[in-house]
Amino acid sequence: MLYRIRLPLLLLTLLSFTLTGFARAQQIALPEIGQSGGAIVTPGEERRTGEAVVRNIRRAGGILDDPLLNDYLNHLSYRLVSTSDTQHPYFEFFMVNDRVINAFALPGGYIGINYGLFLASDSESELASVLAHEISHVTQRHHARAYEFSEGSNIPVLAAMIAAMILGSQGSQIGQAALTAISAGSIQQQINFTRANEKEADYIGIQLLADSGFDPQGMAIFFQKLDKESRLYGPQAPEFLRTHPVTESRIADATNRAEQMSRASSPNPKNYYLMRARIQVITARDKKAVRNGFEKTLKSGRYLDRDAELYGYALSLIDTGEFEQARKILNDLLNADPGRIAYLLERARLESMANQHKQAISHFKQALADYPGNGPLTLAYTKALLRAGKANEARQIITEHQRHNPEDPHFYKMLAEAEAALGQSANTHIALGEYYYRIGQTHQAIDQFSLALKKKPLDFYNTSRIEARLNEFKEEIALLQQGMK
């Protein structure tokens, strides 16, 4: 883990979210971490734990759920994974909706990065250095070394605890909002990698940077920024900087190791700058203010990349309903760079938002002809079809996409909307149930599957499928309830 995270209290909040109505928060009994004599965690347990943590984070509003941004993050990260010698079968990367600078690796190959850390970087190599460090924690199985599961350990409770630690970081609006929602007790448990783990992750991470064509100095440069920020804060520094400082020796080690490797000199790719601009727009509370900010920066000429600044300006114009000006900017960008997915997606989305459905569908079809199966384009196309009243076509596209991507909650939500438009009430409840489960709302998932079970007629296959899924959800709730006794 790049930074230590010390997160009291929030576990109780996450558990109370899950068990509203019968939680006994003051009596939580947590599985012990690092307990001697416990059974070493298996890869399967790591995967299930990490998956449950992500659902808990999502339930608390902690995921920055933007398909295009997530696509960029995963492509960048898998460039690093592909050069490692890991036998780990699975990785998933996601953006956390928090401006605090932080990143973390979870059991099972799940890696989160706060959007605040992305914006704190000034190059893709700096951003990649953080991802390389976290990837190294996973490839070296530091989670299995960091803690042991007691016999019969309760994965849902452990997952809620880890999620609580992540979301409760000082300065996190999500964490602070959750802290105010409870009054019972406090949890002082924390999960930390050892210094040896951290040193190993730095060492291997720098090698991954070099092998993947990034500047290996990216890690040392980013460490220096964190060290400077820590000095500026002084004794009031955020928790992760006070409890896990980036030391001079750590910076020196990273610098010395990077100097032994060839240094990449390629410029930052366009998508890095585009995603920085995108984050600024989608995380902005005041849409007009962010639009004015892009306009001012474009006039002053003080920007990292002009195309990215224009792109961000166009996004902000769409958000404020200024479609004609946004259309002109996007058309100009596409004339200069016709194959850029970020531009293609926003031009088509603009037409859908402007209720120009025929034009929007045409743009999406053209884009998907060039990039078949692209997740962000497919999702946006599905939304456009539903806005245009083409529910049957939307359902066909979703069903095909889910054969290869069955876990994405966005598509279940769209599927529920399509089934509802087609009058398929049982299928609507099933799709909503799957959506709620994937965003961590297990109680709502149970409600939806129970409603689906009441719809008639249902054949034996669908009845059995619904009942089996209900049993899985109820078992998870029972484990959480058991962990709180």
Cα–Cα dist 364/382, whole Å: 10
Paired residues of 103 in beta bridges: 113
32 is catalytic: no
C-alpha separations of 244 from 198, 222, 320, 333, 393 in Å: 11, 15, 42, 43, 52
C-alpha 238/C-alpha 226 separation (Å) is 11
Q: Report the alpha-carbon distance of residue 191 to residue 141 in Å, rounded.
A: 14
Instruction: Report which of 350, 349, 293 is spatially closest to residue 322, judged by C-alpha positions.
Output: 350
Catalytic residue among 202, 309, 351, 434: 202
Neighbour-count burial of 308, counting CB atoms closer than 10 A to its CB (0-12 exposed, 13-18 middle, 19+ buried) = buried
Residue 130 near residue 114, CB atoms below 8 Å: no
- The one-letter code for the residue type at 258 is A
Contact 206, 257 (CB under 8 A): yes
Amino acid at 256: N
56/29 Cα distance (integer angstroms): 18
Pair 13, 56: CB distance under 8 Å: no
Residue 98 falls in the annotated catalytic set: no
- Look up residue 304 and give its two tokens: 């990292």
Taking a C-beta distance cutoff of 8 angstroms, is the pair 219, 132 a contact?
A: yes
Q: Are 332 and 355 in contact (CB under 8 A)?
A: no
Task: Tell me which residue of 215, 193, 201 sits closest to 128, measured CA to CA.
Answer: 215
3-class SS of residue 237 = coil
Active-site option among 126, 134, 307, 417:
134
Q: Which helix (H) or strand (E) holds 95?
A: strand 92-96
Cβ–Cβ under 8 Å, residues 108 and 90 = yes
Task: List the one residue out of 204, 19, 174, 12 whose CA is nearest residue 97.
Answer: 174
- CB-CB neighbours of 457 under 10 Å: 7
Query: Of the candidates 138, 137, 123, 140, which has an alpha carbon nearest to the alpha carbon of residue 216?
Result: 123
Contact 382, 412 (CB under 8 A): no
User: Exposed, middle or buried, 360 (CB in 10 Å: 0-12/13-18/19+)?
Assistant: buried
What are the catalytic residues?
134, 202
